[in-house]
Amino acid sequence: MSEYNDQQDPRIGVFVCHCGTNIGGVVDCRAVIEYAKTLPSVSYAEDNMYTCSEVGLSAIKDAIKKCKLNRVVVASCTPRTHETLFRRTCREAGLNQYLFEFANVREQCSWVHAHEPEKATQKAKDIVRMAVARASRLEPRNEVEVEVEKSCLVIGGGIAGLTAASSVAKQGFRVVLVEKQAELGGKLRQLHLVYPTFQDATEILQNATRSVAEKKNIQVLTSSIVKEVSGAVGGFEVSVQHQKDKKETKLKVGAIVVATGAQNYEPPKPYYGYGVSDNVITQLKLEEILKGDKLGKPERVIMVQCVGARKGETWTPGFEELEKAGLVDEMYSKRAAEEGFPYCSKICCVNAIKNALIVKDKSPETDVIVLYSDIRAYKEYEKLYGEARKRGVKFIRYFTELPIDVKQSDDGKLVIFFLNTLYRSEMSFLADYIVLSTPLAPSLDNIILSKTLRIPLGADGFLLEAHPKLRPVDTSTEGIYLAGTVAGSLDIAESIVAGKAAAARASSLMAPGKLTKDAVTAEVDPSKCDACGICEAICPFVAPRIVMANDKKVSQINPILCNGCGTCVAACPRFAITMYHYKDDQIASQVRTAFSDEVGDPSEPRILMFTCTYCSYAGADLAGVSRLEYPANVRIIRLPCSGRVDPYIVFEAFKYGADGVIVSGCHPGDCHFLSGNRMAEQRFRSLQTALDALGVEKGRVRLQWISASEGQLFANVVKDMTDSVRALGLNPMRVAREKT
């Protein structure tokens, strides 16, 4: 194993990947290599057809050993896919993995500037230069090893929680299952038959509860709630309170699975006649009626889809024509904007189809009509839709933007009025039952859980997963996992799968008995700290604490609790906090080297963009994957969180040649560090004031929220910022510096 010390001069190896024609077909990789050889501290440079191949990885290892390299820069694709691979390669060659730096010249260069090879090549050189500058200041870091308790807390006793508890217990770990209600089962206790198998929900529940009861290593606490959670992954300290006698149980667990479910939305009364007539019911109430075999022989049952769901959508074909024709009045518009949720609940269509078939089974003569906007019968459920049509269930498309009117007829039946999209005219039917398909809504408990467990809430009110595709059951708090509808709308089969997935993640965490914690953490210099408490106040992970040390009050940061967002570093008024792997000088080195003097037209604006690693950087990658072209004058610096952006860094950007600066991050409510973006927003307001005092126009700096799915927005923001800055002209600070 090679050794590194602070006195060693950096010896950097640069490896440029052609990635077949993905990079090499646009960027002149040989020119980039020749340029890299001229950069300070670069001792070796080569290009590879595929650097991530066995041949390419072997070339890195060989160069590290033969050329005594103590830093490595790979210019290829995105670090989001290959950083772990290259870090491991460095480690296998005897080099500390934190002495590796990535340069993204595919997603953020060749793929978005395919028609500008000269500009793409120049940008690739700049990206490599920035990476080399940062690499020369990197320091080795050792990951912290944490002991892990081999026990798991499962919060919620619905089907997802029962599945998770049983699955974890099967692996031999101790499980504590906490359920708020007096009985286990959650919403499954209210259901009749489950699609697509039409299996009795009671039978599924009995099997799940029996599986839990049979395992001696599962402790069940009903009528109980989680009051407090402290500690960190591997050693969470939990306080559970019984709701009747208020007795508290203290637990220490290595992992936590959250499976507290969702609630069924009830429409506001008296819309749709709900609450006025006993025969206007929700699908959940219909389940209860069918389960008790109390339906009887109704003449007609009408089901209404999207009640309280997809609010705000006004895209249905023909809606504009209705407005022009005067068929939509103020009352309709007002009611269309009433309570509800903007998302599709996903399960409502299939649930309605299933219940329609059950009604037909129990009463074949009953006329069943489903009023819908779009039938979303995904996966094998398309067969159910086809079966329902064969059995005589009628499907009529209506304008969901226009609330339905329900009145009582003289004979006591219900009359429903709606606008048909096919005829674009009002229709009405008599009905015995009107069944409203309402969405699954986030539980109000999510607000409490978000604070207790330090998990962010998504914009829709559900608990937010770390990544919807790559880490669908993980959360931003390591060691805490989501199962079932607490994270979004799922059917029973999907909830069971989610429970097993969360159990697998928790079990794999606990199995080794210990884990290594990422070394990207913050540390306080006690000689500079005056114990102001700002870091303690703003950290959502309670990592900093004011303590007495050497007869002086100072802040100390627990590296196990620290998630490495860097928000405290940017907020510290005494510059007493260091963010390892994202130190001020490491970021500043990228800022100062972002723009070369060979950018072509000197009148073209230079844009520097700070992105958060989870969302806006991923948005930039998506723009690349989608081949969305935007101006080649933007240079990107990846940070853990937008909260890490210090005003000092922005000032440096303007001082060293940027004409405009974009600070970007997750949307409010979606921050993977809970509140880092809110801190960035507050700091941004102060930054604007300071820049005004320096004579830097407001249009030169912009705060923009961009999610991982918003590649088009990313491209649009760069284009818009470029146009805005071009109208302002060159940055006065840049002009003054170039004159000197």
CA nearest neighbour of 76 among 2, 144, 24: 24
pLDDT band at 602 (very low <50, low <70, confident <90, very high): low
Does residue 61 sit within a domain?
Answer: yes
Q: What does DSSP say about strands 414-420 and 425-431: parallel, antiparallel, or unpaired? A: antiparallel
Contact between residue 163 and residue 496 where contact means Cβ atoms under 8 Å apart: yes
Residues 295 and 397 in one domain: yes
Which residue range is the domain that position 132 belongs to?
Answer: 1-143
What pLDDT, on the 0 to 100 scale, is given for residue 738? 64
Residues 66 and 105 in one domain: yes
Burial class (CB in 10 A: 0-12, 13-18, 19+), 145: exposed
What pLDDT, on the 0 to 100 scale, is given for residue 224? 97
Contact between residue 640 and residue 680 where contact means Cβ atoms under 8 Å apart: no
Contact between residue 4 and residue 69 where contact means Cβ atoms under 8 Å apart: no
In the predicted structure, residue 104 carries a pLDDT above the cut 90: yes
- State which H helix or E strand residue 128 sits in: helix 117-135
Contact between residue 438 and residue 348 where contact means Cβ atoms under 8 Å apart: yes
What pLDDT, on the 0 to 100 scale, is given for residue 671? 86
Residue found by looking up tokens 């074909």 in the block: 317
3-state SS, 182-243, equals CCCCHHHHHCCEECCCCEEHHHHHHHHHHHHHCCCCEEEECCEEEEEEEEECCEEEEEEEEC
3-state SS, 645-709, equals CCHHHHHHHHHCCCCEEEEEECCCCCCCCCCHHHHHHHHHHHHHHHHHHCCCCHHHEEEEECCCC
CA nearest neighbour of 699 among 740, 676, 664, 729: 729
Task: Identify the three-state secondary structure at position 154.
Answer: strand
Residues 559 and 638 in one domain: no
pLDDT band at 336 (very low <50, low <70, confident <90, very high): very low
Does residue 574 sit within a domain?
Answer: no
Residues 287 and 255 in one domain: no
Domain with 160 in it: what CATH number? 3.50.50.60
Average pLDDT over every residue of 265-289: 91
Distance separating alpha carbons of residues 485 and 465, to the nearest angstrom: 12
Beta-ladder partners of 664: 704
Residues 89 and 73 in one domain: yes
Burial class (CB in 10 A: 0-12, 13-18, 19+), 10: middle
In the predicted structure, residue 330 carries a pLDDT above the cut 50: no
List pLDDT tens digits, range 288-324: 999 999 999 999 999 999 988 887 544 344 445 555 6
Residues 394 and 452 in one domain: no
Does residue 385 sit within a domain?
Answer: yes
Residues 324 and 347 in one domain: yes
Residues 536 and 619 in one domain: no
Does residue 575 sit within a domain?
Answer: no
pLDDT band at 334 (very low <50, low <70, confident <90, very high): very low
Does residue 129 sit within a domain?
Answer: yes
In the predicted structure, residue 603 carries a pLDDT above the cut 90: no
Residues 563 and 589 in one domain: no
Distance separating alpha carbons of residues 590 and 135, to the nearest angstrom: 10
The last residue of a domain, from among 547, 569, 591: 569
Based on the structure, what is the number of domains in the chain? 5
3-state SS, 284-322, equals HHHHHHHHCCCCCCCCEEEEECCCCCCCCCCCCCCHHHH
Burial class (CB in 10 A: 0-12, 13-18, 19+), 391: middle
In the predicted structure, residue 340 carries a pLDDT above the cut 80: no
Average pLDDT over every residue of 127-134: 98
Domain with 560 in it: what CATH number? 3.30.70
Average pLDDT over every residue of 164-185: 97
The last residue of a domain, from among 122, 143, 164: 143
- Looking at residue 463, the DSSP 8-state letter turns out to be B
Output the average pLDDT for the chain: 91
What pLDDT, on the 0 to 100 scale, is given for residue 4? 45
Residues 325 and 354 in one domain: yes
Range from 545-549, 626-630, 669-673 carrying the lowest mean pLDDT? 669-673
What pLDDT, on the 0 to 100 scale, is given for residue 272? 87
Range from 99-113, 130-144, 390-404 carrying the lowest mean pLDDT? 390-404
The last residue of a domain, from among 495, 515, 535: 515
List pLDDT tens digits, range 183-235: 999 999 999 999 988 999 999 999 999 999 999 999 999 999 999 998 889 99
Residue found by looking up tokens 């990544």 in the block: 467
Cis bond upstream, residue 526 (ω within 30) = no
Could you please report the per-residue DSSP string of 355-398?
Answer: HHHHHHHH-TTSEEEEEES-----GGGHHHHHHHHHTT-EEEEB
Does residue 577 sit within a domain?
Answer: no
In the predicted structure, residue 6 carries a pLDDT above the cut 50: no
pLDDT band at 370 (very low <50, low <70, confident <90, very high): very high
The pTM for the full model equals 0.77
Percent of the chain with pLDDT over 70: 93
Domain with 617 in it: what CATH number? 3.40.50
> What is the amino acid identity at position 217?
N
Encoding tokens for residue 558?
Answer: 């627990």
- Looking at residue 257, the DSSP 8-state letter turns out to be E
Cα–Cα distances (Å) from 450 to 457, 462, 464, 485, in that order, read 6, 10, 9, 15
Residues 370 and 415 in one domain: yes
Does residue 561 sit within a domain?
Answer: yes
Residues 655 and 717 in one domain: yes
pLDDT band at 597 (very low <50, low <70, confident <90, very high): low
Distance separating alpha carbons of residues 152 and 234, to the nearest angstrom: 10
Does residue 459 sit within a domain?
Answer: yes
Cα–Cα distances (Å) from 289 to 191, 203, 293, 370, 373, in that order, read 10, 18, 6, 18, 26
Q: 443 or 576, which is more confident?
A: 576
Those residues whose C-beta lies under 8 Å from the C-beta of residue 576, and which sit 6 or more positions away, are 524, 525, 526, 528, 529, 530, 555
In the predicted structure, residue 445 carries a pLDDT above the cut 50: yes
List pLDDT tens digits, range 684-732: 988 888 888 878 888 899 999 999 999 999 999 999 999 999 999 888 7
